Structures are given as structure tokens and as C-alpha cells.
Amino acid sequence: MAKALRKVRIASKQHLSPNMMRLRFGGTGLVDFPSGFDGGYIKLVLDDAEKPAVRSYTVRSFCDESKELTIDMVAHGDFGPAASWANRVQEGSEVEITDPGACKPISMDADWFILAGDMSALPAIGVNVSRLPEDATGDVVLEVISEKDKIDLNFPKGLQVHWVINPDPEAPNSVLEDTVMALPWRNSDVSVWVAGEFSASRSLRQYFRHDRQVHKKSMYVSCYWKIGVTDDGMKAAKRADVEAW
């Protein structure tokens, strides 16, 4: 059954970096919005395009007191309906969203942690990082479009942060997975959280599953988009890839 739509208003629009935008939503449509879904997702209806589009975005935060919902989204150039919409939309505009879907948090049952993703995964990684203990150790690999896209996520001091600059993320590449696979490995229980482009996520799932023998309960790997295809095409590829997904 399709989720009911909520009409919300864009309370503020802010560029966190050249290619990352933060939108805060308000309005009566959020009066009964449920708490506890930070790191989950909503679907945003982009109805001003030639063909209405629906895209999923991570719930960066929801303040139950002010009834304000925050999402961060990649707004790279004017490519695709979502980036195009984000660059044009104005504060005060109304838009429809769905109720939130479940979050997939990183498992805390580990001695060390690996988190990795491109800019589409930065909001969810930010939520996961905020949940880690202050003495957490491990590695975070983040692929961004430019040096100025290095957003401060308040990493625990024990996490080694590896920024990878890729100015053309829509061209086939392996920069994210190459960097992750080159990380030193520790012989103790690890917890893995990865999201981003389809091919990179698929490669890393196989690496952690087969090469590093990470137990499935200690690993979450997902894809948010796929180079060269629409959102529907990505979902179709994901369904067809039985082994990886």
C-alpha cells in the first residue's frame, strides 16, 4: 500500500557546500510526524518537472518540539530532476513528502567500524557517526565532488577519515572501493556500513562478504543510485542482482 502524502513547506534552504544542500521543512503536515526516524528516509514528490518524479532522501533530523524536518541532498549542477528542482525551489514553497521509512543503523556490536559512501550517503553516514561512542575506532571513507564538499560530521577522534575527491562521479570509476579495499585490516570484530552508487556498493559487499568474511549481521550495504540510469533503472538493476542484494 502506498504511503499517504504530507504537504509541507520549505522553511529554509542552505548550501552546506558547493554540491550539498540542506532543506528544512515545516508546516501543519508535520504536526504528527513520528520521531525516532533519523537516518531513515522519506520520499519527496517533485511535481514541477515535465514528468513528476519521486526520490528518497535520508531524514537528517526531526525536531519534535519545533516540528521541523531536515534533509540534506546532493545538488550537483542541473543534472536530473532532483538537482534541478533543488536549485530552483524557493523558501516558502510547498512540496509533498511521505511518512518516514525505517532506518538501517550501523551495528554497535563491534570492536571497530568501517563506514563508506559517496555524497548521496553523507546524510546517513552523518547520522550513524553521531551514534558511535566517543571512543569508537575505525575508518570512514567519503567520496566527494570537490575539496569544498568536505563537511564536518563531528567524527570521534579514533576514526581515521579518508576523503576521496572525484569531480565526475557520473563517469564509471572505482575510487571509493579501491580506497576501502586498501585500508589496513584489524583482526577483531568489525561493523560495516556502506551506501552509494550501485557498482561501488556491489563490489564492496562482495569484498566484505567473501574476502573479509564479515558476518551479514555486522554488515549493511545498499545502493542509492546507479551511473547512467534513472531511479527506476537502478531499482530494476538492484532487483535483478540477486547475489548482491
Q: Are 178 and 217 in contact (CB under 8 A)?
A: no
* Average of per-residue pLDDT across 82-109: 90
Predicted confidence (pLDDT) per residue in 211-224, tens digit? 999 999 999 999 99
Q: How far is CA 111 from CA 59, 107, 132, 168, in A?
A: 27, 11, 12, 35
pTM of the model: 0.91
Q: Which three cell numbers stand for residue 31?
A: 504536526
Question: How many whole angstroms separate alpha carbon 88 and alpha carbon 101?
Answer: 27
Q: Which residues pair with 17 in a beta bridge?
A: 20
- On the question of pLDDT at 239 being above 80, the answer is no
> Which H or E run includes 140?
strand 138-144
Residue 77 has a pLDDT of 59
Predicted confidence (pLDDT) per residue in 1-54, tens digit? 456 799 999 999 999 999 999 999 999 999 999 999 999 999 999 876 566 788
Residue 103 has a pLDDT of 85
What domains, with CATH codes, occur in the chain?
A: 5-98 (2.40.30.10), 112-240 (3.40.50.80)
Q: Are 190 and 114 in contact (CB under 8 A)?
A: yes
